[in-house]
Amino acid sequence: MSSTPCEKYPSVYLLPQTNQLKALMTMIRDRNTIRRDFVFYSDRVIRLLVEEALNHLPVVETTVITPTDSEFKGLAFRGQICGVSIMRAGESMEQGLRHVCTGVRIGKVLIQRDEATALPKLYYSKLPDDIAHRYVLLLDPMLATGGSAYEAINVLLKANVPQKHIIFINLVCSPEGIDYIVSNFPDIIIVTAEIDIGMDSRKYILPGLGDFGDRYFGTL
State how far the Cα of 173 lies from the Cα of 193, in Å rounded to an integer.
8
- At 187 the three-state DSSP class reads coil
36 catalytic, yes or no? Answer: no
User: How many other C-beta atoms lie within 10 A of the C-beta of residue 34?
Assistant: 11
Choose, from 4, 179, 214, 219, the residue flagged as catalytic: 214
Residues 6+ apart with CB under 8 A from 138: 83, 84, 86, 149, 152, 153, 156, 166, 167, 168, 169
Give the number of other CB atoms < 10 A from CB of residue 161.
22
102 sits in which H/E element = none
| 187 is annotated as an active-site residue | no
- Catalytic residue, chosen from 35, 47, 88, 211, is 211
Q: Report the amino acid identity of residue 214.
A: D
User: Is 31 a catalytic site residue?
Assistant: no
Amino acid at 150: Y
Residues 25 and 196: their CA atoms lie apart, in Å, by 12
| Catalytic hit among 117, 129, 200, 202 | 117
Amino acid letter, 114: D
Q: How far apart are CA 23 and CA 47, in angstroms?
A: 15
Q: Which of 113, 114, 179, 187 is catalytic?
A: 113
Q: Determine whether 30 is an active site residue.
A: no
Catalytically active residues are 113, 117, 211, 214
